Amino acid sequence: MKDFKNYINGKWVTSAHSINVINPVDESISAKIYEASPEQVQEALESAQKAQKAWSRLTGVDRGYVMRKWAALIDRNKTKLANLLTEEVGKPITESLGEIDFGNNWLKYYAEFDRRIEGEWMSPDNPGEVMWNIPQPIGVVVGIIAWNFPFAMALRKIAPAMITGNAIVFKPHEDTSMTALALVELGEKAGLPPGIVNVVCGYGNTVGVQLVKSEIPQLITFTGGSETGKKITKMAANNLTTISMELGGKAPMVILNDADLDMSVENAYSARMLNCGQACICNERTYVQSGIADKFIKKFIKKMQKTRVGDPFKRGTQIGPKINKTELEKVRKYVNKAKKQGAEIALGGDLLKGGMFNKGYWYQPTVILNPTQNMEIMQKEIFGPVIPIMQFDSFEEGIQLANDTKFGLAGYIMTNDMNKIMRAVRDMEVGELYVNRSLAESIHGYHAGWKNSGIGGDDGKHGLEHYMRRKTVYLKYQV
């Protein structure tokens, strides 16, 4: 059994309380991590605060140099990291390899900002004066993430914090801490100064609360559920701490009569089934215009029937298990309730059983037909391999149904009508809109939610903004 320690102020430390990392495939114990004690959490925050000043006074080129060395080490250890990722999350190894590359791109991309973070020179109001605006680091960052993409989301927080001259105290999810700790081990080899990146493991209601309530951090950046995000926002408000929240989603896919049918089936499938449906921008509810609904449903069910579920380490496996028992039971509850409320279970609808599926957290690929808009299955985040499909008549109705949710993270539209595309761009209430394609954002875009899906955002040049403060300087000189 592997043993993973916390990383605080450049030291690897244990604590009195350990947490078992459960393999979701068979419920075996993969590793042991250590819940950071209150004293260790405080040490991490204080060491970050102390180290940040010197780090911020380096040039961007110096910071970028460390980040590039780190990225090179990740490339050389890609297979090892991907194996850890598959072991702790249960995602297919091909997806894990892709996540390592995707996550590492944040280090490489933000390292390029070593000469690109710029201020502004402005015209003064008075003669004999100059004025300019300077971007400066915000200070200590606390990063907290969910479990579904633990490697990529770690670097999504760490890389922008580093290049802007901040230090970060990072808390991975207790179910998926192995890759974050392995990642920082490589960072240490790349020359990370002590205190600049700290990793403290543990539960949200202990370690997470202490981090958020502390007066030391100047930014809390969180990826996870909307209800947890609201709690963090309230706690951070006591210290007026800046927040960036990337929260839950209930992404709609609207498929119009003129859409390419085969492409729509492929996109609806891949946008739902990535990581066993455990992605905040997954296709959570599919709306198909009535003119093609029957053909779409027939083709889609056939596609779902061919899904290869099984050992995530085997090439060709398309989905693995859910992450844990709690998440598995949540999916089961939503499907059972939809069935009781009158929806039709056209495929699947229960736990997988038999053989290797007698252990672990396995759910059948499931298609639900004829749901109504007010059902939980259409309003709450499923986060599993389950697709409810609902028919609609007009374009206007499709957009109205898509917007009928408290979430607004991502959305999809399938159509060849450019006029309808532009109207959807204008009217769909989401931070990301995918037109005639499946999911996967780009690192230089801006990943941000509307409504209950978040405040602030990640990625690209706009994702750097909340990692910095702005200072305006007025200088008077002798004329």
Burial 22-49 (b: 16+ CB within 10 A, else e): bbbbbeeebbebbbbbeebbbbbbbbbb
418: exposed, middle or buried (C-beta count within 10 Å: 0-12, 13-18, 19+)? exposed
Helix or strand holding residue 337 (H, E): helix 325-340
CATH of domain 251-442: 3.40.309.10
Helix or strand holding residue 365 (H, E): none
Domain assignments of the chain as residue spans, ordered by start: 2-247+453-475, 251-442
Assigned token pair, 357: 């599926």
Active site includes 201? no
Distance CA 23, CA 323 (A): 8
CATH of domain 2-247+453-475: 3.40.605.10
Low-confidence ranges of the chain (pLDDT < 50): none
At residue 287, φ and ψ (nearest 5 deg) are: -110, 125
Distance CA 123, CA 128 (A): 11
| pLDDT tens-place string over residues 377-429 | 999 999 999 999 999 999 999 999 999 999 999 999 999 999 999 999 999 99
Distance CA 69, CA 67 (A): 5
Distances (CA, A) of 71 to 14, 76, 77, 151: 27, 9, 10, 13
**Closest among 190, 240, 234 to 215, alpha carbons compared:** 240
Q: What is the pLDDT of residue 479?
A: 78
Look over the chain and give the mean of its residue pLDDT values, rounded to a whole number. Answer: 97
Distance CA 32, CA 201 (A): 11
Distance CA 94, CA 273 (A): 14
Q: What is the widest separation between alpha-carbon atoms in the chain? A: 87
Find all residues with CB under 8 Å of 210, minimum gap 6, and list them. Answer: 38, 41, 42
- The 8-class DSSP code of residue 479 comes to -
Residue 253 · residue 287 · CB < 8 Å: yes
Q: What is the pLDDT of residue 379?
A: 98
Q: Pick the catalytic residue: 87, 95, 246, 381?
A: 246
**Closest among 120, 84, 112, 117 to 99, alpha carbons compared:** 84
Q: Pick the catalytic residue: 280, 282, 327, 432?
A: 280
Active site includes 276? no
Assigned token pair, 288: 């198909």
Assigned token pair, 426: 């204008």
Helix or strand holding residue 234 (H, E): helix 226-237
